[in-house]
Structure 1
Amino acid sequence: MLPVCQIPGFQLRDVMAGEVRIRTALGGKGPPLLLLHGHPQTHLTWGKIAPALAERFTVVAADLRGYGDSAKPEGGAGHVGYSKRTMARDQVEVMRALGFERFAVVGHDRGGRVAHRMALDHPQAVERLALFDIAPTVTMYARTNQEFATRYFWWFFLIQPEPLPERMIGADPEFFLRQHIEGQIKIPGSTSEAVFAEYLRCYRDPATRHAICEDYRAAATIDLEHDAADAGTRITAPLLALWGGRGTVGKLYDVLETWREKATDVRGEALDCGHSPQEERPEETLRLLLDFLG
């Protein structure tokens, strides 16, 4: 399926990660750079900065499994099909299929959690790691209080057993999606209507909504088990953390300190925005990212 809205200068290509088809947008020339979106976005979340990145890098903007126009396999027993381990392996296989054994990776929101796991499971592949507006999953669950549960209610709604959240969202996907995005973005209009329409096109698919729930169910179960098993392992790749100073992560956590508990080389700062720096503060995000990537 071809989206109506595309990133200028990028070509869409489906790449097989094992038996799972992953939709990618490819552009540019130079060292490889993988961009991973979050929920409820697709690879189009990078549209404001990807063309400039493509002037220096071979940019691969991928839809995570279950999202966008990528395949949507079942989660299986224990939601293993949407564990961050499985989702990270998808993207490593995509990059290998494109000829890249080692690359930089930038992840926002859910994509950041996939990138975190990738850096642990595939340290030989991850050259540099940038994470946008997240603290570690295990940290956020461990420190849950009423304020966090209120601000991030979907962390607890989407994990409910099938089909409760799927059917409730399915009653009015556009309302849920718009409320979700507008609640997190603090600079109105940062998500254009054309891009929102693409997010909605994908969100209207019941298989997408089910996959999203499986992603969150995995985060609350099998991902925590994997994190506990790796509690003593630290990320060795240089890590850049950027977050929105007006958002939940910036208000509730010392973001750099949470990542210094997980990685050996951490830097970063807050931007004057909400949850999506790449959409809300693209020029500043691009400057900081290029400085980090070198």
Structure 2
Amino acid sequence: MDVTNKEALFAGFAETVIETTDVHFSVLTHGRGPAVLLLHGYPETRAAWHRIAPMLAETCSVVVPDLPGYGRSRVTTNFEGAGSKRRMAASLVAMMRALGHETFAVVGHDRGGRVAYRMALDFPDRVKALVSVTVVPTPEMWEGASKAFGMGAWHWFMMAQPAPLPEKLMAGDPRSLLDTTLEKMAGGLDRLDPRALADYRACFDDPAVRHAMCEDYRAGATTDEADDLADRATGRMIEVPVLLIWEAGRRYGGGREPLDIWRDWASDVEGVGLDGCHLLPETASEQVHERIQDFFGRIGHGV
């Protein structure tokens, strides 16, 4: 089943398959102008961008893949370590080159936001701008972890456990787990388009997808954190313009504001908090699009 084709959520978008050295990417593309790569988060698929992608396609060449291992994108070689954001970023850069985009802006939400900022660090010659939605760097999350964080984001700890424990637990009632997670993240399942929700459910039903999600979180507790800490130790920062969008009122470890945290990681950063719970691309899509377009306009991307 595919409910994210042009007849459903992405009218006018073409669906294609791009093969890189280690990923079979399922990708949607549409629009003209400077390229923009949209990366979704857990526990979703590319369908998360169905409200924003068509608006961005009016001024940009929009590329909307499923993350490696998520949705319908499959890791084809050496799955061990496939959750590494460095590895995901490299695969996505190769995918963009295969589509003819040597440079591009990247917009990432949730786990996609972690891939996006790693991409900006590792490929500054490719990434021209970064929009990070509801994300601060991974070490900041672990270092600021508290009882409240653990109770609210318990999956960070559970899914990072060694295989196959998380996979077995998730297999017990995957639909209930998914719906409970999305209901909290969105502030109610009724705030999600039924067609997008159907896509999330169909993909989450696949044990291979759930395994990939666990690998994503395992990397977040190991290699991703190590890569970020190595950059921080050497003073390496993101040098491209960064727009940060976060959940209004959200604070992190020690009560720090998201923008203050990001100023330690990026040299040119601005941001705004929006109402709409965690899934801002779906629950506050017009506001998110407005902020992105304004940002692109000021840096000369897509206008």
Q: Which interval holds the TM-score relative to the shorter structure?
A: over 0.9
Q: Which residue of 1 aligns with 2:45?
A: 42
Instruction: Structure 2: give runs of 5+ residues left out of the alignment.
Output: 298-303
Contact 1:241–1:256 (CA<8 Å) still a contact in 2? yes
Of 21, 24, 30 in structure 1, the residue corresponding to residue 24 of structure 2 is 21
One-letter amino acid of the counterpart of residue 162, structure 1: A
Of 266, 270, 274 in structure 2, the residue corresponding to residue 271 of structure 1 is 274
Question: After the TM superposition, which of the residue ranges 18-27 and 28-37 deviates more from structure 2?
Answer: 18-27
Secondary structure of 2:74's partner? coil
Q: Structure 1's 191 and 74: CA in aligned 2 closer, same or farther, altered over 3 A?
A: farther
Contact 2:75–2:82 (CA<8 Å) still a contact in 1? no
| C-alpha deviation, 1:186, in angstroms | 2.7
Q: Which residue of 2 aligns with 1:167?
A: 168
Question: After the TM superposition, which of the residue ranges 216-225 and 66-75 deviates more from structure 2?
Answer: 66-75
| C-alpha deviation, 1:165, in angstroms | 1.2
The reply to whether residue 126 of structure 1 matches residue 107 of structure 2 is no
| C-alpha deviation, 1:265, in angstroms | 0.5
Residue correspondence of structure 1 range 252-263 to structure 2 within 5 A: 253-263=256-266
Secondary structure of 2:163's partner? coil
Alpha-carbon distance in structure 1 between the residues aligned to 2:22 and 2:163: 25
Instruction: Encode CA deviations 1:110-144: one digit per residue, 9 max, x unaligned.
Output: 00000010011000001000000011111010111
Q: Which residue of 2 aligns with 1:184?
A: 185
| C-alpha deviation, 1:3, in angstroms | 3.5
Query: How many pairs does the alignment contain?
Result: 292
Q: Which residue of 1 aligns with 2:140?
A: 139
Instruction: Encode CA deviations 1:126-165: one digit per residue, 9 max, x unaligned.
Output: 1000000011111010111111111110000101111111
Instruction: Encode CA deviations 1:47-67: one digit per residue, 9 max, x unaligned.
Output: 011111101000001111010
Q: Which residue of 1 aligns with 2:291?
A: 288
| C-alpha deviation, 1:73, in angstroms | 4.6
Alpha-carbon distance in structure 1 between the residues aligned to 2:9 and 2:24: 19
Instruction: Encode CA deviations 1:206-236: one digit per residue, 9 max, x unaligned.
Output: 0000010000001100111111211110000
Alpha-carbon distance in structure 2 between the residues aligned to 1:247 and 1:199: 26
Instruction: Encode CA deviations 1:168-196: one digit per residue, 9 max, x unaligned.
Output: 11111110001001111136522122211
| C-alpha deviation, 1:74, in angstroms | 7.0
Q: Which residue of 1 aligns with 2:301?
A: none
Residue correspondence of structure 1 range 32-181 to structure 2 within 5 A: 32-73=35-76, 76=79, 79-181=80-182
Secondary structure of 1:116's partner? helix
Contact 2:281–2:288 (CA<8 Å) still a contact in 1? yes
One-letter amino acid of the counterpart of residue 120, structure 1: L
Alpha-carbon distance in structure 1 between the residues aligned to 2:18 and 2:98: 7
Contact 1:103–1:128 (CA<8 Å) still a contact in 2? yes
Contact 1:157–1:165 (CA<8 Å) still a contact in 2? yes
Secondary structure of 2:130's partner? strand
| C-alpha deviation, 1:250, in angstroms | 11
Identity percentage over the alignment? 41
Contact 2:251–2:257 (CA<8 Å) still a contact in 1? no
| C-alpha deviation, 1:6, in angstroms | 3.6
Question: After the TM superposition, which of the residue ranges 263-272 and 251-260 deviates more from structure 2?
Answer: 251-260
Of 244, 247, 251 in structure 2, the residue corresponding to residue 244 of structure 1 is 247
Q: Structure 1's 52 and 113: CA in aligned 2 closer, same or farther, altered over 3 A?
A: same
Q: Structure 1's 252 and 172: CA in aligned 2 closer, same or farther, altered over 3 A?
A: farther
Q: Structure 1's 181 and 290: CA in aligned 2 closer, same or farther, altered over 3 A?
A: same
Instruction: Structure 1: give runs of 5+ residues left out of the alignment.
Output: none
| C-alpha deviation, 1:247, in angstroms | 5.7
Secondary structure of 1:194's partner? helix
Q: Structure 1's 133 and 252: CA in aligned 2 closer, same or farther, altered over 3 A?
A: farther
Superposition RMSD in Å: 1.8
| C-alpha deviation, 1:253, in angstroms | 4.1
- Give the TM-score normalised by the residue count of structure 2: 0.92
Alpha-carbon distance in structure 1 between the residues aligned to 2:69 and 2:241: 29
Q: Which residue of 1 aligns with 2:227?
A: 226
Q: Structure 1's 171 and 134: CA in aligned 2 closer, same or farther, altered over 3 A?
A: same
